[in-house]
């Protein structure tokens, strides 16, 4: 999967921001449905097993209805899960090119496992119907005078179908759990720049606090989405599911309420923890704002569920669905803001490479490019705040530039898009330099300090655009 990062080409800052927006739209669609699919599949399998063991047709019917709802037709998982998951692979490949982050691989393998899971769950869904047909046909043969003929064959075939039915369900759930873990982990790795180098294998994900917290946050969201979905599709939508008696309605209502309460109590905790473990470079005011709005909406969802528990009015279920859906939107936006903040320097670096490639193309086409002097830029802009050997408004160059030994491109990216690093000094303002000018001033500064990264150019010599 890392091959995609090598095939990706640098893009402008504007293109980078478009990718962030598309990533946000993908997560808004993907995570709520993926959570609903996971929760519904697990519950369907559990109550199907229980109903079969206890010969309880009501439980098996509930399990059948639940998997029918979440896999209504092939278009639903295709456009709400597979297409968004597949698209995220290429977005991560563009955002994280030239880095060691494993997000692309995680998203890629997550998509493959998700595809296998959905195929298996469809097999589980369709064998539900075949199982019911065989059961009815077996009873029809037994009721006839000569019904013994063929009953054993039908019974044997029915048993094989049941085994295949449950095997498909198990495989689907196992692969779906694994796919969800990898897809959520890819987001967690991308949102924390320290993870780009620290997490190099899938096994490292299991000891990463921010990855585990985001996985637990997704599990809490999945429980809430499943509970609200059960309430909506079984009791509220178009007057509720047909054929439900008072006992079944009580069962559905109690199950959904337990899921929602567990979700709404734990989700705020994981949202706060997911922010706490992020580095300062991934934080911003908008991130805190989106998280705060999501927490308020989670509280309103709890209020709607409580109102439905008291009054049993379908409108409260509708309200719970809408507020939780909007809360998940703000949680997704919160994630995308974290990704945007984490990749700010990466965006500047890719934009620098993009402009350098553009200048090289212009040069090959015979378009003249002006020369830029790093010394002139230093004297005209940088010297107002920085000196080489002593502090001024900003730190001395000899104290900070040594950290960029062998990392000239990172220093160029910082000059193009400066972020606050040292609390003892005010943040460096963006100088509005072009990538070629940033390269020129960085080469001049490193050369003045005797860095091995600087090119052998005499002081004051102009550095041509390239």
State the Rg of the chain over Cα: 29
Rounded to 5°, angle at Cα 318 from 314 and 320: 115
Half-sphere CA count of 149, side-chain side, radius 13 A: 3
pLDDT one digit per residue (tens) for the chain, 466 residues = 667 887 888 888 888 889 999 999 999 999 999 999 999 999 999 999 999 899 888 998 899 999 999 998 899 999 999 999 999 999 999 999 988 999 999 999 999 999 999 999 999 998 876 665 545 544 544 555 444 445 566 566 567 777 888 899 999 999 999 999 999 999 999 999 999 989 999 999 999 999 999 999 999 999 999 999 999 999 998 888 887 888 889 999 999 999 999 999 999 999 999 999 999 888 999 999 999 999 999 999 999 999 998 888 889 999 999 999 999 999 999 999 999 999 988 888 888 788 778 777 777 776 655 556 788 888 888 888 888 888 888 888 888 888 777 778 888 888 887 877 777 888 888 888 877 788 888 888 888 877 434 333 333 333 333 2
CB-based burial of residue 306 (10 Å sphere; 0-12 exposed, 13-18 middle, 19+ buried)? middle
pLDDT value of position 226: 97
β pairing state of 371-372 and 463-464: antiparallel
> How far apart are alpha carbons 39 and 227 in whole angstroms?
8
> Of 273, 169, 265, 159, nearest to 211 (Cα)?
273
Dihedral over Cα of 218, 220, 222, 225: its sign: negative
pLDDT value of position 132: 56
Asked whether the beta carbons of 259 and 267 are under 8 A apart, the reply is no
> How far apart are alpha carbons 278 and 263 in whole angstroms?
22
Residue 461: C-alpha distances to residues 22, 352, 413, 451, 464 (Å): 44, 22, 22, 17, 9
> How far apart are alpha carbons 139 and 226 in whole angstroms?
35
Tell me the residue length of the chain: 466
Q: Where are the alpha helices (DSSP H) in 55-150?
A: 57-70, 75-77, 83-95, 103-142
> Of 369, 363, 374, nearest to 408 (Cα)?
374
Quick one: tokens of 36? 């609903």
pLDDT value of position 453: 40
pLDDT value of position 135: 54
How many CB atoms neighbour CB 114 within 10 A?
Answer: 25
pLDDT value of position 376: 83
pLDDT value of position 199: 93
Helix (H) or strand (E) holding 283: none
Rounded to 5°, angle at Cα 79 from 78 and 83: 80
Strand partners, 372: 463
Dihedral over Cα of 263, 268, 272, 275: its sign: positive
CATH superfamily of domain region 346-464: Cytochrome c-like domain (1.10.760.10)
The pair phi, psi for residue 372, each rounded to 5°, is: -125, 130
Quick one: tokens of 317? 């279920």
| The residue to which tokens 């790093």 are assigned | 374
pLDDT value of position 254: 94
> How far apart are alpha carbons 455 and 443 in whole angstroms?
7
> Of 175, 259, 270, nearest to 214 (Cα)?
270
> Of 144, 184, 179, 232, nearest to 31 (Cα)?
184
Q: Where are the alpha helices (DSSP H) in 191-313?
A: 195-198, 202-205, 209-231, 246-276, 285-311
Strand partners, 371: 464
> How far apart are alpha carbons 465 and 462 in whole angstroms?
9
pLDDT value of position 155: 62
In the chain, domain spans:
1-190, 201-336, 346-464
> How far apart are alpha carbons 115 and 135 in whole angstroms?
30
Cα 404 vs. chain centroid, distance in angstroms?
32
pLDDT value of position 50: 94
pLDDT value of position 263: 96
């Amino acid at each position: 999967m890392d091959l995609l990062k090598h095939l990706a080409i640098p893009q402008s800052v504007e293109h980078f921001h478009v990718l962030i927006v598309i990533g946000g739209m993908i997560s808004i669609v993907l995570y709520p449905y993926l959570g609903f699919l996971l929760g519904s599949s697990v519950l369907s399998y559990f109550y199907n097993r229980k109903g079969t063991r206890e010969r309880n047709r009501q439980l098996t019917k509930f399990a059948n209805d639940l998997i029918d709802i979440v896999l209504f037709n092939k278009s639903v998982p295709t456009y709400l899960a597979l297409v968004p998951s597949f698209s995220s692979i290429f977005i991560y490949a563009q955002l994280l090119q030239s880095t060691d982050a494993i997000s692309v691989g995680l998203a890629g393998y997550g998509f493959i496992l998700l595809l296998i899971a959905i195929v298996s769950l469809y097999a589980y869904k369709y064998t539900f119907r075949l199982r019911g047909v065989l059961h009815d046909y077996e009873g029809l043969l037994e009721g006839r005078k000569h019904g013994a003929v063929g009953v054993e064959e039908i019974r044997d075939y029915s048993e094989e179908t049941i085994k295949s039915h449950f095997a498909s369900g198990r495989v689907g759930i196992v692969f779906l759990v694994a796919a969800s873990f990898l897809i959520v982990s890819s987001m967690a790795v991308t949102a924390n720049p320290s993870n780009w180098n620290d997490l190099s294998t899938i096994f490292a994900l299991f000891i990463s606090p921010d990855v585990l917290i985001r996985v637990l946050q997704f599990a809490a969201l999945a429980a809430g989405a499943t509970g609200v979905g059960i309430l909506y599709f079984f009791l509220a939508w178009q007057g509720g599911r047909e054929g439900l008696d008072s006992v079944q309605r009580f069962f559905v209502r109690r199950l959904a309420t337990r899921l929602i309460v567990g979700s709404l109590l734990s989700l705020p905790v994981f949202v706060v923890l997911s922010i706490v473990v992020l580095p300062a470079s991934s934080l911003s005011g908008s991130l805190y704002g989106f998280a705060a709005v999501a927490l308020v909406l989670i509280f309103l969802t709890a209020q709607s569920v409580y109102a439905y528990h008291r009054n049993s009015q379908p409108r409260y279920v509708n309200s719970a669905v809408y507020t939780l859906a909007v809360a998940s939107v703000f949680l997704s936006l919160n994630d995308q803001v974290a990704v945007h903040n984490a990749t700010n320097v990466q965006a500047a670096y890719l934009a620098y490479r993009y402009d350098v490639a553009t200048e090289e193309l212009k040069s090959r086409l015979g378009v003249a490019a002006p020369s830029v002097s790093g010394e002139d830029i230093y004297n005209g802009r940088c010297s107002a705040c920085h000196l080489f050997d002593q502090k001024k408004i900003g730190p001395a160059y000899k104290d900070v530039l040594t950290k960029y030994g062998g990392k000239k491109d990172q220093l160029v990216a910082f000059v193009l898009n400066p972020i606050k690093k040292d609390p003892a000094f005010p943040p460096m303002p963006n100088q509005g330099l072009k990538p070629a000018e940033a390269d020129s001033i960085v080469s001049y500064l490193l050369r003045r300090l005797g860095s091995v990264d600087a090119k052998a150019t005499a002081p004051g010599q102009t550095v041509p655009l390239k």
